[in-house]
Structure 1
Amino acid sequence: MADDNATPEQGGSKKKLIIIIVAAVVLLAAAGGAAFFFLSGDDGSQEDIVLEEQSNALPAIYVTLPKPFVFNVTGDEQQRLVQVNTQLLVRGAEMETLAKENLPLIEHALLNTFGAATVEQLRTPQGQLEIRRQSAENVRAALIKVTGEPVVERVLFTGFVMQ
């Protein structure tokens, strides 16, 4: 009889031990994941940090480009004609002045970006988003070389027609 009572206690303590070990492993995994998430730094570039600081400090100003961009794209059986109206988002009057002074450079960077686009890219919203992102990067890179500052925060499409 004494042996019968001892066996269930050992079985019960083994279950408790297994539950405690599983709970400890889950808790350690969750703690490790949380530590990795909170302690891993943001891998944002220096330009993103500068643009973020600018966006918090200065009001948004939209610079409208005087003429729409009209260009041909290939990728189908036939060529397509595309017209894009664009505006530039800048922060502060100083950046607005720099953008207006460098409009030919900005137009050149945008035309090069648009000229590299394909019909497949321009048909989908994701492709258009990628073209806007590439446009902003190319404009910033061109302006940094000339002015030393990124100047343009975003390139916005205010009109888009593809025939």
Structure 2
Amino acid sequence: MAEEELQMEEGGKKGKMMIVIIALVVVLAGGGAALFFLGGEEAPIEEDFASATGAPSAAPSSSSEPARVGTALYVAMPRPFQFNVPGAGRDRLVQIKVQLMVRGSDNEEVAKQHIPAIEGTLLQVFSAANADDLVTEAGKAALRDQSTREVQRRLQELAGAQVVEKVLFTGFVMQ
């Protein structure tokens, strides 16, 4: 009977020791996973690294591009743009959903403040489009680039700075 109690105590100690070891392994694995997912940073792109450290970038920035300072934020236009465009065969109805890419919360606030002016500028650019051009990917890219230039020009007039870095089409439907 004494031998059975001794074996039970040893078995109980082994069981407790196994639980402690398993708990330790789980805690270490969880810590390692947290370090991997939260602590590790990817190597930044050269331009972003230079702007983040304050060092001058290797590529000279042209006066038409806004400074890449701050995190990229996206300002969604409140409603999609719907308009008719003429084409060689027939007129088409186009719907474009737009978001503006800005850098930093200050530019985000300025862009939100001037949404009506931005919408007006985009409608002017979109209304000058041709359905035959918008069928091709090159035509869509040209419209996107022209939209970016015109919005930047308009915000330069209104706010005194190029607030918007890019105009992005997040939805494009043509019927």
Q: 1:124, 1:89 → 2: CA distance?
A: 24
1:99-155, Cα deviation, whole Å (9 max, x unpaired)? 000000000010000000001211111110010000000001111101000100000
Q: 1:92, 1:45 → 2: CA distance?
A: 20
Aligned length: 117
Q: 2:78, 2:153 → 1: CA distance?
A: 21
> Equivalent residue for 1:65?
77
Structure-to-structure mapping, 1:10-159, within 5 angstroms: 45-48=62-65, 51=66, 54-55=67-68, 57-159=69-171
Instruction: Give the structure with the larger helix fraction.
Output: 1
What secondary structure sits across from 1:150 in the alignment? Answer: coil
Q: 2:139, 2:60 → 1: CA distance?
A: 24
Over the residues paired in the alignment, what is the CA RMSD in angstroms? 1.4
Q: Provide TM-score, normalisation by structure 2.
A: 0.64
Q: 2:168, 2:157 → 1: CA distance?
A: 22
Q: 1:94, 1:128 → 2: CA distance?
A: 29
**CA displacement at 1:77 relative to structure 2:** 2.3
TM superposition outliers: structure 1 runs of 4+ over 3 Å: 42-45
1:75-102, Cα deviation, whole Å (9 max, x unpaired)? 2322100000000000000000000000
Q: 1:79, 1:47 → 2: CA distance?
A: 34
Q: 2:60, 2:113 → 1: CA distance?
A: 33
Q: Provide TM-score, normalisation by structure 1.
A: 0.69
| Unmatched tracts of structure 1, length 5 or more | 1-41
Q: Residue 112 of structure 1 aligns to which amino acid in structure 2?
A: Q
Q: 1:78, 1:47 → 2: CA distance?
A: 37
Aligned-pair identity in percent equals 44
What secondary structure sits across from 1:46 in the alignment? Answer: coil
